[in-house]
């Protein structure tokens, strides 16, 4: 159960760190945001990252990837989190690629996976229908027709749904709210007839979309996996995405924490460094302890995926639940301890704060994962 990066993984992390520090740091993100041209990430940077092989880390070698595992991918996401690097890595190279790998036919795999690994194709997955993460509450009807399927309804908060070339739609072909059976996955091109994309603007200024289907015709060969059997590949793919998102959040929490400690060390009030006030010292020490414990939970989740352990669900829900709470705690303390300037847009802390709060809701808030954890433990 490795909880520490090995030599190769550390080298990868270092090279990614160097790259994003120079090419995709917080200032780049701020510029991107202020341009307001709707672009949530920089295609050139993404292309360069792909050249580094980042987009292939979790894709099997047989399909043009590096098959380098989730500990490695987690290390990349942590660096992204520290610099607020925006990219389709999570939606496409982790979540989307995983669904195609686990549910797709050989044809589909060889058609899409190499392109995703090369960063030439981006995929987004449409899961949500309400304001809270709830894959089993999927009710978008998938009606079978003579030459395929018909979709009517909408999906919400699709991560990178605006920019993605290809969309994977989770719908229901049978069963009721909460049923694990009856879930079906379909592949749609971004410009599929009868599908409309609406922009969801969120506080983290990244790419989210609602998808609206009006008698959308989907050809039979767009089926990913078999009808009604999406649950198993979906759960594992979700856990892979959750673990990687947790790693990104860990980077963000670490960065907020480090910046706050630095501020405590330098800011003067009442004729002394505010970091010398015991009340703040104890709160900082408490944050540090919480952060170190949460880091271990995140590493364990990534490691569970690499080792295909049978407690992946518990490991991932522990990681997401804890990182949600840790991020919230540290984000609020970071603002409070920075005082007045903490609530200005000029200071970067606010950007981390906003990203953190969106991430908390993505792929399951603490309530969702606490519920799941309790269920897995039989209470």
Q: Contact positions toward a copy of itself, by CB under 8 A?
A: 277-279, 281-282
Distance between CA atoms of residues 109 and 60, nearest Å: 10
Q: Which does 259 bind (CB under 5 to 8 A by kind): other proteins, a copy of itself, none?
A: none
The minimum distance between CB 273 and a copy of itself, in angstroms, equals: 14
Answer for the pair 32, 40: CB distance below 8 angstroms, yes or no.
yes
The minimum distance between CB 360 and a copy of itself, in angstroms, equals: 21
Phi, psi dihedrals of residue 41, rounded to the nearest 5°: -145, 165
Residue placing its CB nearer to a copy of itself in the complex, 199 or 281: 281
Q: Which does 43 bind (CB under 5 to 8 A by kind): a copy of itself, other proteins, none?
A: none
Residue placing its CB nearer to other proteins in the complex, 109 or 322: 322
The minimum distance between CB 286 and a copy of itself, in angstroms, equals: 10
Distance between CA atoms of residues 240 and 220, nearest Å: 28
- Token pair for 31: 């510029």
Q: Which does 62 bind (CB under 5 to 8 A by kind): other proteins, a copy of itself, none?
A: none
Q: Which does 35 bind (CB under 5 to 8 A by kind): other proteins, a copy of itself, none?
A: none
Residue placing its CB nearer to a copy of itself in the complex, 107 or 279: 279
The minimum distance between CB 1 and other proteins, in angstroms, equals: 7
- Describe the crossing of helices 231-266 and 278-306 by its angle, rounded to 10 degrees: 150
Give, as one character, the DSSP assignment of residue 229: B
Q: Which does 128 bind (CB under 5 to 8 A by kind): other proteins, a copy of itself, none?
A: other proteins
Residue placing its CB nearer to a copy of itself in the complex, 150 or 370: 370
3-state secondary structure of 199: strand
The minimum distance between CB 120 and other proteins, in angstroms, equals: 30
Q: Is 183 exposed, middle or buried (0-12, 13-18, 19+ CB in 10 A)?
A: buried
Phi, psi dihedrals of residue 67, rounded to the nearest 5°: 50, 50
Q: Which does 135 bind (CB under 5 to 8 A by kind): a copy of itself, other proteins, none?
A: none
Q: Which does 308 bind (CB under 5 to 8 A by kind): a copy of itself, other proteins, none?
A: none
Distance between CA atoms of residues 219 and 238, nearest Å: 25
Q: Which does 157 bind (CB under 5 to 8 A by kind): other proteins, a copy of itself, none?
A: other proteins
- Determine the distance from the C-alpha atom of residue 261 to the mean position of all C-alpha atoms in its chain, rounded to a whole number: 27
The minimum distance between CB 329 and other proteins, in angstroms, equals: 12
Residue placing its CB nearer to a copy of itself in the complex, 132 or 282: 282
Give, as one character, the DSSP assignment of residue 274: G
The minimum distance between CB 218 and other proteins, in angstroms, equals: 25
The minimum distance between CB 290 and a copy of itself, in angstroms, equals: 17
Distance between CA atoms of residues 358 and 206, nearest Å: 10
Residue placing its CB nearer to other proteins in the complex, 165 or 348: 348
The minimum distance between CB 280 and a copy of itself, in angstroms, equals: 8
Answer for the pair 296, 3: CB distance below 8 angstroms, yes or no.
yes
Residue placing its CB nearer to other proteins in the complex, 25 or 366: 366
Distance between CA atoms of residues 159 and 127, nearest Å: 9
Q: Is 291 exposed, middle or buried (0-12, 13-18, 19+ CB in 10 A)?
A: buried
Residue placing its CB nearer to other proteins in the complex, 103 or 298: 298
Q: Is 153 exposed, middle or buried (0-12, 13-18, 19+ CB in 10 A)?
A: middle
Helix (H), strand (E) at residue 217: strand 208-219
Q: Which does 237 bind (CB under 5 to 8 A by kind): a copy of itself, other proteins, none?
A: none
Sign of the dihedral through C-alpha 160, 128, 79, 340: positive
Residue placing its CB nearer to other proteins in the complex, 155 or 172: 155
């Amino acid at each position: 159960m490795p909880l520490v990066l090995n030599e190769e993984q550390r080298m990868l992390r270092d090279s990614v760190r160097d790259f994003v520090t120079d090419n995709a740091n917080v200032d780049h993100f701020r510029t991107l945001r202020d341009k307001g041209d709707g672009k949530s990430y920089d295609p050139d940077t993404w292309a360069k990252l792909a050249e580094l092989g980042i987009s292939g880390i979790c894709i099997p070698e047989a399909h043009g990837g590096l098959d380098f595992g989730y500990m490695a991918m987690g290390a990349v996401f942590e660096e992204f989190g520290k610099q607020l690097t925006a990219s389709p890595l999570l939606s496409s190279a982790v979540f989307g690629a995983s669904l195609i790998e686990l549910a797709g036919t050989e044809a589909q795999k060889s058609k899409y996976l190499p392109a995703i690994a090369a960063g030439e194709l981006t995929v987004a997955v449409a899961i949500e229908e309400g304001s809270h993460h709830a894959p089993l509450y999927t009710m978008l009807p998938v009606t079978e027709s003579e030459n395929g399927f018909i979709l009517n309804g909408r999906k919400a908060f699709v991560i990178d749904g605006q920019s993605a070339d290809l969309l994977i739609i989770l719908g229901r072909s049978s069963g009721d709210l909460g049923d694990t059976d009856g879930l079906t996955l379909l592949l749609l091109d971004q410009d599929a007839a009868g599908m409309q994309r609406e922009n969801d603007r969120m506080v983290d200024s990244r790419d989210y979309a609602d998808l609206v289907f009006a008698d959308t015709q989907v050809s039979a060969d767009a089926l990913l996996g078999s009808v009604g059997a999406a649950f198993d590949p979906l759960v594992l793919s979700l856990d892979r995405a959750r673990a990687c998102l947790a790693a990104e959040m860990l980077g963000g929490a670490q960065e907020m924490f480090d910046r706050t400690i630095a501020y405590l060390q330098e800011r003067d009030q009442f004729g002394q460094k505010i970091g010398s006030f015991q009340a703040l010292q104890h709160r900082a020490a408490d944050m540090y302890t919480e952060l170190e414990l949460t880091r271990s939970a995140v590493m364990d989740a990534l490691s569970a995926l690499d080792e295909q352990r049978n407690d992946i669900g518990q490991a991932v829900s522990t990681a997401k639940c804890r990182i949600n709470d840790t991020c919230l705690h540290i984000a609020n303390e970071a603002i409070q301890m920075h005082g007045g300037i903490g609530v200005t847009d000029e200071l970067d802390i606010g950007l981390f704060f906003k990203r953190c709060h969106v991430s908390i809701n993505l792929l399951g808030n603490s309530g969702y994962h606490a519920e799941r954890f309790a269920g897995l433990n039989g209470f």
